[in-house]
Amino acid sequence: MVRAYESGEGSYPTIAARFRVGVASVRRWVGQFRDVDHVLPRKKGGGTRSDVSVKELEAILDKHPDANAGELTAAYNVGRRGKARRHASSIKRALHRAGYVVKKNG
């Protein structure tokens, strides 16, 4: 598909119709080919890093050694309001980063 476009066999819409893909896909693959000289899948992004400190989590784990993720989240959020509160997914990412295994239920 990229070769067909690069060799001048048609416009983005023409090539898209010929290969039965979207015009945006042809545009994206041609652009990627021009940037990095291949159309292999790109690496997965890194995601959002949790800003929860491991020290705080370890202090909570000392008090609640057998807590599940929901209970750890509740303990972390005690006394925090608004944007300072964290979701269980942030707590889980921080635990994973620190090498802990997350218990899902009680």
Per residue in 40-73, pLDDT (tens digit) is 998 888 777 788 998 999 999 999 988 888 999 9
Question: Are residues 54 and 85 located together in one domain of the fold?
Answer: yes
Question: Are residues 53 and 22 located together in one domain of the fold?
Answer: no
Question: Are residues 48 and 99 located together in one domain of the fold?
Answer: yes
pTM of the model: 0.56
Question: Are residues 29 and 71 located together in one domain of the fold?
Answer: no
Question: Are residues 25 and 48 located together in one domain of the fold?
Answer: no
Q: Which range is least confidently modeled, 13-17, 29-33, 49-53?
A: 49-53
- If one counts the domains in the chain, the total is 2
Distance CA 28, CA 39 (A): 9
Residue holding tokens 């940037």?
Answer: 35
Q: Whole domain around residue 105: which residue ranges? A: 43-106
Distance CA 44, CA 24 (A): 20
Count of CB atoms within 10 A of residue 1's CB? 17
Name every residue whose Cβ is closer than 8 Å to that of residue 98 and which is 6 or more positions away in sequence.
Answer: 54, 57, 58
Question: Are residues 60 and 104 located together in one domain of the fold?
Answer: yes
Question: Are residues 31 and 70 located together in one domain of the fold?
Answer: no
